[in-house]
Amino acid sequence: MKGQPDVKDLTMDTGVQQLITKARAEGIETAFDRAAKMIQCGFGSQGICCRLCLEGPCRISPNGKGPQAGVCGANADTIAARNFYNHVIQGTASHVEHAREIAHALIETAEGHAPYSIKDTEKLKNIAKGLGIDIDNKDVNELVKEVTALALEDFQKQHGTLNWLKLKAHKKSYQTWENLGLLPENAHAEIAKSIARNVMGADADPANLLMGTVTLGLVDGFAGLHMSTDLQDIMFGSPRAVKAQYRLGVIKKDKVNISVNGHIPLLAEKVVEWAGKLENEAQKVGAAGINVVGVCCSGNELLMRRGVSVATNYASQEMPIITGALEAMVVDIQCIMPGLHQVADCYHTELITTLPYSKISGATHIEFTTEKADQAAKEIVMRAVNNFTKRNPAKINIPEEVTEAYAGFSVEQIIEALKAVNAEDPLKPLVDAIAEGKIMGAVALVGCTNPRRQQDKYNVELVMELIKNNVLVVATGCSAHSLAKFGLMSPEGLKYCGEGLQEVLTVIGKANNLPALPPALHMGSCVDNSRIADLLSALASYLDVGIKDLPAAGSCPETHHPKALAIGTYFLANGVDVHVGVNPQVTGSKMITSVLTASKEQFPFTTDALFGGKLIYEEDSKKAAEKILERLKMKRRIMGLNS
């Protein structure tokens, strides 16, 4: 098609380049093409377009020459604050619903109504004790019921604060939130209250709206991220280090290929189980077996616990279908492109939705419930098997590239790896390395890939700059896939690290019978950003400082989803600097921009002044790395460490 951008400008991944070219030759439009054609609204991109009532839409003129208030009188500050709040509401609701689904599945398992089992009884006991539950003389199912009762209470309690917040919050952060009156009561009430505050004629104080946004960030962090991760670990097992393969070459021409795409691992786990059970059915139709591959965070969940290979990440989720060798793409919720259906219609691939509140017009829908998980998974796998014979050989084109990567670095696995260096005091080697400057600090790479940005480039570039400067990197979500695809989650990537970081990763790796640890540690899916918070909390407690004092930051260079802003708000509330490489859509308000991005010396009412962390908006990855490094050095100086 005339005027389309070169595929090399759209993605670093040569396999994705190959398949975009194929799609174009076949007349198929992908997310990359749609992004290139889309004209972005200048008002919306600055957060100063308001559609919250029927008086509008209203938009504020950013140059001061046009309207400076909506029909109701809301100015740029109020409108930008409301729009930012709305993003965080959406992100928080996504994670909270994830946690609620897992809580229900756990209790149904304990009651014998769902075909799952409890894999990590040790974590169950630790969580129960942390919640104040007496674990003596109680069997596993009894403990599960008591733990999930307290989890579900976080969706309905009317007094006090979230059980998971009290369980997981660092004491110094907790004190700050309590002093500011920010502690949330229950997840559903805070989401509903936030929506009510944001309607026309309600809360119009931008400062108050931002404080409400922080409270919702805490809901996201504790009733979303932490609860999801803890309950999933109890149910499916805490991840341990695994080696797997990445990139589109993991799709096999001689096998029935099924991709799982989404976020809640309940169905994905069952699909893998039934793929193993139905291998003989695949052989009957001429296939060598059944191959399940991951996309997005369902891919992360299966990778970490089962070693299932990952085909690709968010922006290129259409590409497994375009190989012509994918029999079924199974989706649940979050980060699922509606455009998948149009692409699947061009091939034999069956797009299958599974949740009643997340459907796509034209897709096959197979209802998933925990009680009927086996039936749904079996039907899905058999549909894929039957589709194998419907392939068009002329349309098959599978990129050959495959990259090996290590994943599964839960906090438990990291502590276990450190115990091989110092069994009695496992955090000491890490703390000593930071104190001595061998590790400058730690940065979490989180979030997504965005079709508006050259896929993977900004994630990889940023991390290359950081590890060169001896920054330890941990990663989650689709950004983790970016690093894995380009060798940064393998010991081979050690050559890109600074001398100090190389030494530390080599010592820990050799103590664990590896040549070295990877320069970026894969910690899981989007909800597993809670693992990063747990690690920071453990380090802060060890040093008797606040999380805000640690030389640590987060970054999402290619994000696209409101969940990233909710996660970022949670970490800002803990005093962790957060970098975003995509417009956060607040720049139309000087006040909101200052509150989020200015240092405490520049502006009196900032997240930096209140909590100790600020937002860094920088699209250029190398410049972003410089800004992050400067903040890490500043925090080192405050702690009395050399910078």
Question: Helix/strand/coil (H, E, C) string of 30-72?
Answer: CHHHHHHHCCCCHHHHCCCEECCCCCCCEECCCCCCCCCECCC
Measured CA distances, 554 to 184, 195, 210, 299, 619 (Å): 23, 27, 20, 22, 15
We find that the CATH architecture of domain 248-395 is: 3-Layer(aba) Sandwich (3.40)
Give residue-wise pLDDT tens across range 272-284: 999 999 999 999 9
Could you tell me where the beta strands, DSSP code E, fall in 543-602?
Answer: 552-556, 577-580
- At 427, which amino acid appears? L
Instruction: Determine the average pLDDT of the residues in 97-110.
Output: 98
Express each pLDDT in 234-244 by its tens digit.
999 999 999 99
Neighbouring CB atoms inside 10 A of 19's CB total 28
Please, are residues 489 and 407 in contact by the beta-carbon 8 Å criterion? yes
Contact 413, 508 (CB under 8 A): no
| pLDDT at position 2 | 55
Tokens standing for residue 493: 């990537």
- Domain 76-236 class, CATH top level: mainly alpha
Name the band, by pLDDT with cuts 50, 70 and 90, for residue 58. Answer: very high
pLDDT at 603: 80
Q: What secondary structure, in 3-state letters, does 90-118 show?
A: HHHHHHHHHHHHHHHHHHHHHCCCCCCCC
> What length is written for the chain?
643
**406-638 shares the fold of 76-236:** no
List, in sequence order, every beta strand (DSSP E) within 278-391.
Answer: 290-295, 310-312, 328-331, 350-353, 364-365
CB 554 within 8 A of CB 563: no
Cα separation, 21 vs 43, whole angstroms: 33
Task: Kindly report the number of other CB atoms within 10 A of residue 51's CB atom.
Answer: 12
What are the residue boundaries of the structural domains of the chain, listed by start? 7-59, 76-236, 248-395, 406-638
Q: How far is CA 243 from CA 21, 298, 308, 409, 495, in A?
A: 31, 17, 9, 11, 19
Q: 532 pLDDT band (50/70/90 cuts)?
A: very high
pLDDT digits (tens, 9 = 90+) for 248-266: 999 999 999 999 999 999 9
pLDDT in tens, 445-492: 999 999 999 999 999 999 999 999 999 999 999 999 999 999 999 999
For residue 2, count other CB atoms closer than 10 A to its CB.
3
Q: 218 pLDDT exceeds 80?
A: yes
Query: Is the pLDDT score of 157 beyond 80?
Result: yes
What average pLDDT does range 177-186 have in this prediction?
Answer: 97
What number of other Cβ atoms are within 10 A of residue 44's Cβ?
Answer: 17
Q: What is the pLDDT of residues 62-84, one digit of tens each?
A: 887 889 999 999 999 999 999 99
Q: What is the pLDDT of residue 64?
A: 79
Q: pLDDT > 90: what percent of the chain? A: 96
Q: How confident is the model at residue 536 (pLDDT cuts 50, 70, 90)?
A: very high
The β-bridge relationship of strands 403-407 and 242-246 is: antiparallel
Task: Indicate the residue type of 269.
Answer: E
Residues in contact with 558: Cβ distance below 8 Å, sequence separation at least 6, in sequence order: 315, 447, 448, 449, 450, 453, 455, 456, 458, 459, 479, 482, 581, 582
Q: Which positions ≥6 away from 602 have C-beta within 8 Å?
A: 594
Cα of first residue to Cα of last residue in the chain, in angstroms, is 52
Confidence band for 643, pLDDT divided at 50, 70 and 90: low
What are the residues whose beta carbons fall under 8 Å from the beta carbon of 257, sequence distance 6 or more?
251, 291, 293, 320, 325, 326, 327, 384
Residue pLDDT, tens place only, 551-570: 999 999 999 999 999 999 99
The class level of CATH for 406-638 reads alpha beta
d(CA 22, CA 29): 11
Does pTM surpass 0.95? yes
